[in-house]
Amino acid sequence: MLIEHRMRTALALLVKGLVPALLLAGSAQAEKYVLLGWNDLGMHCANGDFSSFVVLPPYNNVRAQLVYSQEGSLPQLVTEGVRIDYSIPGNTTSVTKTNFWDYAQQIFDLPAPLPPDVGLTGNGLTGSMEALDGFFEVTGVPITPFQDDDLVNEQPFQLIRLEARRESDNFLLAMTEVVIPVSNEIGCVSSGCHSSEQSILNHHDDEAGFDPNDTPILCARCHSSNALGTPGIPEARSLSYRLHEKHKDIRPTNSIATCYKCHPGNQAQCLRGVMATGIDEPMICQSCHGTMRDVAESISEGRRPWLDEPSCGASNCHGSNYAEQPNTLFRMSTGHGGLYCSACHGSPHAILPSSEENDNLQVISLQGHAGTLAQCTVCHTDIPLGNGPHGSPAPAAAVADLQIVRLAGNQAHLSWSPVQGVSSYLVYSMPSADARPAQWTLLGDQAATQYDDLIGTPDEERFYRVVCVSH
């Protein structure tokens, strides 16, 4: 197995100069904060019009974790003495972009009208996240898919800015921007399936006591919804069951296009993660959830929609080594160092790397490239000796004294102490300290703990990385 060690950052820089010089490995920051954020579902949909029937309100949830690391200690999750503020660049108001606030009190039986731009949980488009046990969260952000300068074209993958600040003096500790996804593509009519929303209500005319003209009507008032927490009427069955059972014969049954008739959507295409776009045989919605008939039948057999969902750890998927916590959804599971799975892997439906550029911005800013957050030194100032996430190998022992000496004739002499359990060493040169692996040049593959390198010119700067190989 390949074991990468960075000697703190595991980099050594050969500086300019003709005189022999001793250079120690570059040191990581003595202390640092890293802010990781994500959306809970990878997509939130909401009605565009609330005057007829209502499936979902504008309601978006974002979580974050703040990691503090100092030299000589393991990183720690911080929730005390700090706060995380949030805002949405380019989207400062929602009340002028939807009629939700005209009907919210009636739809949800509220004691008073909602203030403009305030959602069902009392949160707005700016504010501070709530500090909880090991993480921060804001729920019910009432965002619409329209930015302030374009009220026509949906922008389903906008960014929410998170700023971690020290409470004592408001000092900015860390900042990140992550996708806060939202779409109005609940396509009952726009998909071409129904002539109007009123016609859907009229199909309920055989239900005793139901008046299809008494609008607006919250679907989850009668049909229970775990998404909204409504018990509904038992005889009416859940909204998830009714929708999937009613439409189970739509063709093609095993196509993502069928799901996009209701779920966002032909424009948003919310299934955008690596499993759908980054593998040779892309997966579709049915690969995990089954057909609409499968979804309906599983609910009839006792599955709880929104609460019992496909598992990453299933034997036909990634296996137990990559499973969620027992009886816990992926989006609620934690692992390495208490980090939530989504902190490193991304949101459900947007597992990294994503085909949507905005989904990748956070990890690119932290490790220089898209994909799973996998660079240890993003959080660690010192690489620990134990295994990493999912049992991934770490160095058997720390190399403490990588040394580089400038010799005559533009030569550099590298030396280091042996690492226990290592059979050979790969010596790389790099054009910069943050160069990606594709930019590394292999200089040597050897058992010896020293290497001589010829520098092109006396003024050339060169970076080195030592990778230990253990069999």
Fold agreement between 2-28+383-469 and 31-186: yes
What local confidence, expressed as pLDDT, does residue 14 receive?
Answer: 34
- Encode pLDDT of 149-165 as tens digits: 999 999 999 999 999 99
Please write down the long-range contacts of 113-121, taking CB distance under 8 Å and 24 or more positions apart: 117/93, 117/142, 118/142, 119/57, 119/58, 119/59, 120/57, 120/59, 121/59
Q: Using 50, 70 and 90 to split pLDDT, how confident is the model at 259?
A: very high
Check whether 432 has a pLDDT greater than 90: no
CATH architecture of 31-186: Sandwich (2.60)
What local confidence, expressed as pLDDT, does residue 421 receive?
Answer: 66
**Where are the domains positioned within the chain?**
2-28+383-469, 31-186
- CA gap 154, 152 in Å, rounded: 7
Count of alpha carbons within 13 angstroms of residue 293, beta-carbon side: 7
Q: Using 50, 70 and 90 to split pLDDT, how confident is the model at 470?
A: low
Q: Which amino acid is at 213?
A: N
Q: What is the mean pLDDT of the chain?
A: 87
Instruction: Say what the pTM is.
Output: 0.80
Check whether 115 has a pLDDT greater than 90: yes
What local confidence, expressed as pLDDT, does residue 209 receive?
Answer: 85
What local confidence, expressed as pLDDT, does residue 280 receive?
Answer: 86
Higher pLDDT, 359 or 189: 359
Q: Which one, of 423, 431, 470, lies nearest residue 449 by Cα?
A: 423
- Whether the upstream peptide bond of residue 264 has omega within 30° of 0, thus cis, is no
Instruction: Determine what percent of the chain is predicted with pLDDT higher than 90.
Output: 66
Q: Using 50, 70 and 90 to split pLDDT, how confident is the model at 469?
A: low
Higher pLDDT, 408 or 306: 306
What local confidence, expressed as pLDDT, does residue 92 receive?
Answer: 98
Instruction: Determine what percent of the chain is predicted with pLDDT higher than 70.
Output: 88
What local confidence, expressed as pLDDT, does residue 385 receive?
Answer: 62
CB neighbourhood size of 130 (10 A): 15
Check whether 439 has a pLDDT greater than 90: no
Higher pLDDT, 419 or 274: 274
Write a three-state SS string for the chain. Answer: CEEEECCCCCEEEECCCCCCCEEECECCCCEEEEEEEEECCCCCECCCCCCCEECCCCCEEEEEEEEEEECCCCCEEECCCEEEEEECCCCCCCCCCCCHHHHHHHHHCCCCCCCCCCCCCCCCCCEECEECCCCEEEEEECCCCCECCECCCCCCEEEEEEEEEECCCCCEEEEEEEEEECECCCCCCCCCCCCCHHHHHHCCCCCCCCCCCCCCEEHHHHCCECCCCECCCHHHCCHHHHHHHHCCCCCCCCCHHHHCCCCCCCCCCCCCCHHHHCCCCCCCHHHHHCCHHHHHHHHHCCCCCCCCCCCCCCCCCCCHHHCCCCCCCHHHCECHHHCEHHHHHCCCCCCCCCCCHHHHHHHHHHHCCCCCCCCHHHCCCCCCCCCCHHHCCCCCCCCCCCEEEEECCCEEEEECCCCCCCCEEEEEEECCCCCCHHHCEEEEEECCCEEEEECCCCCCCEEEEEEEECC
- CA gap 185, 183 in Å, rounded: 5
Check whether 403 has a pLDDT greater than 70: yes
- Encode pLDDT of 16-55 as tens digits: 222 222 222 223 457 899 999 999 999 999 999 999 999 9
| Tokens coding 123 | 């949160």
Cα distances (angstroms) measured from residue 52 to each of 107, 109, 154, 431: 10, 16, 21, 61
Check whether 443 has a pLDDT greater than 70: yes
Q: Using 50, 70 and 90 to split pLDDT, how confident is the model at 62?
A: very high
202-225 mean pLDDT: 92
CATH architecture of 2-28+383-469: Sandwich (2.60)
CB neighbourhood size of 256 (10 A): 17
Beta-ladder partners of 453: 412
What local confidence, expressed as pLDDT, does residue 41 receive?
Answer: 96
What local confidence, expressed as pLDDT, does residue 393 receive?
Answer: 59
Check whether 4 has a pLDDT greater than 50: no
**278-292, 311-325, 394-408: lowest mean pLDDT where?**
394-408
| Chain-centroid distance, C-alpha 284 | 19
- Encode pLDDT of 342-400 as tens digits: 999 999 999 999 999 999 999 999 988 899 998 888 998 876 666 788 877 554 344 55
Check whether 12 has a pLDDT greater than 70: no
